[in-house]
Structure 1
Amino acid sequence: MHLCAPERPGSRLTREGHLVITSALPAAAELRAQRDSADASVTAWALAARAGDTDAVDRFVRALHHDVLRYVSYLCADPQSVDDLAQDTFLRALGSLHRFEGRSSARTWLLSIARRAVIDGFRHAAARPRRYDSSDWQAAVERAQPRNVPGFDDGIALLDLLGALSDERREAFVLTQLLGLSYEEAAVVSGCPVGTVRSRVARARGVLMELVV
């Protein structure tokens, strides 16, 4: 009797019964398709909001509020200002909806606005510095994380690891690996070439792998 290992996702069995690890591209493709569908819906709501649909405004804000909070939390030098910066982001976006034409996804467009809001926040903080301790930082980021779900503690551990990255590498990693943007979309948000984003993500992964070994 010949025993062989059972198949599992990302693997296949040869005729001889050997287990071969294969790429999990179908799962990745399915996840990307779901993200593209969600982005299409959010973009449609943004365009409808631009036309004066108040219900679409509410859907647009609700759909992207968590992503904005999370992104701002990773970038912001003053965790006490995270909520204010997120609110400022949406105020800027709603005030600029008349200029949004849907050439990029509404999520990419909004995160670009969030980035500018953070940069403006840096400039303001430089003029009026504020002190805070590490517990404040931890609490601010935890508010932007999902609660009572598998992997939450792992997410908090990842925050500590991300602190070892440079600002540019951390931003590229967060945009592509945590928020799910493509390299092209992350390049639009960051205002840099796609190749630069790829390099930053690769270097960030290398640093993180060294830290967890």
Structure 2
Amino acid sequence: MAVTLFRKKKSKDPVSVDMANKQKRYEALVNALHGDLYRYAYWLCHSPDIAEDLVQETFLRAWRSLDSLKDEKAAKSWLFTIVRRENARRFERKQFDVVDIDDQPVADQQSVSTEQDTENHLLRRQIAMLAPEYREPLILQVLGGFSGDEIAEQLGLNKNTVMTRLFRARNQLKEALETSDRKRGHSNG
């Protein structure tokens, strides 16, 4: 007597389906936003290695909390907020070594090779000299591509306050660059 056993086809386990969907959402976030997050992290810390660490930690936190992200349109803002907080945590954990500044050699930073490099350096320096309340919204808009509403939400500010700060930041930057150009013009000829 031949007994034929038919094996029932198992339906996909709901947990496996959920994990697969979560993995797809996560990979889409990483692929779409890794470059933007890295640029923002680099701007915050000025170190490629630390920036990559910040981005990795951000994506790790994002994976853990991905189920809390209900609106996919808010993902970029959400991740930028995580990067900013991760950078702040870096300083909470870090114990700074205090050294006597008189004992430290000063490096000559005159190795700029092209005019564009010089202009980029000048622009970065002028942006860094802006007060933090003006610098941060400007960086979020320029590097992150965020709207005034998104910046306001990230920083916990009123949109009008953000727009005013952006306006003032641009004006201060313009004045500083014009002053710098005039000074360079006088010294060159």
Q: TM-score, normalised by structure 1?
A: 0.59
Partner SS state of residue 179, structure 1? coil
2:135 to 156, 170, 193: 170
- Show the counterpart of 1:70: 39
- Structure 1 residues 109 and 94 mapped into 2: Cα distance closer, same or farther (>3 Å)? same
Indicate the RMSD between aligned Cα atoms, in angstroms. Answer: 3.1
Partners in 1 of 2:30 and 2:138 — Cα distance?
Answer: 24
Partners in 1 of 2:81 and 2:142 — Cα distance?
Answer: 17
* Structure having the larger proportion of residues in helix: 2
How many percent identity over aligned positions? 33
Deviations 1:162-213 (A, max 9, x none): 1111222111001113321110001122222212211221111111101221
Partners in 1 of 2:20 and 2:161 — Cα distance?
Answer: 36
Partners in 2 of 1:206 and 1:55 — Cα distance?
Answer: 43
Task: Give 1:111 shift.
Answer: 0.9
Deviations 1:46-72 (A, max 9, x none): xxx986253442232021111111212
- Structure 1 residues 185 and 179 mapped into 2: Cα distance closer, same or farther (>3 Å)? same
1:170 counterpart letter in structure 2: R
- Structure 1 residues 154 and 193 mapped into 2: Cα distance closer, same or farther (>3 Å)? same
- Show the counterpart of 1:84: 53
CA contact (8 A) 2:36 2:143 kept: no
Q: TM-score, normalised by structure 2?
A: 0.65
Deviations 1:22-69 (A, max 9, x none): xxxxxxxxxxxxxxxxxxxxxxxxxxx986253442232021111111
Task: Give 1:73 shift.
Answer: 2.2
2:27 counterpart letter in structure 1: D
Task: Extract structure 1 runs of 4+ deviating beyond 4 A.
Answer: 77-80, 151-157
Partner SS state of residue 105, structure 1? helix
CA contact (8 A) 2:26 2:66 kept: no
1:188 counterpart letter in structure 2: E
- Show the counterpart of 1:59: 28
Partners in 1 of 2:20 and 2:38 — Cα distance?
Answer: 26
Partner SS state of residue 163, structure 1? helix
Q: Which one has the largest radius of gyration?
A: 2
Task: Give 1:153 shift.
Answer: 7.1
- Show the counterpart of 2:74: 105
Partner SS state of residue 57, structure 1? helix
Gaps of 5+ in 2: 1-17, 99-104, 108-115, 179-189
- Structure 1 residues 52 and 103 mapped into 2: Cα distance closer, same or farther (>3 Å)? closer
- Structure 1 residues 56 and 97 mapped into 2: Cα distance closer, same or farther (>3 Å)? closer
Deviations 1:76-100 (A, max 9, x none): 3877522211111111111100111
CA contact (8 A) 2:137 2:151 kept: yes
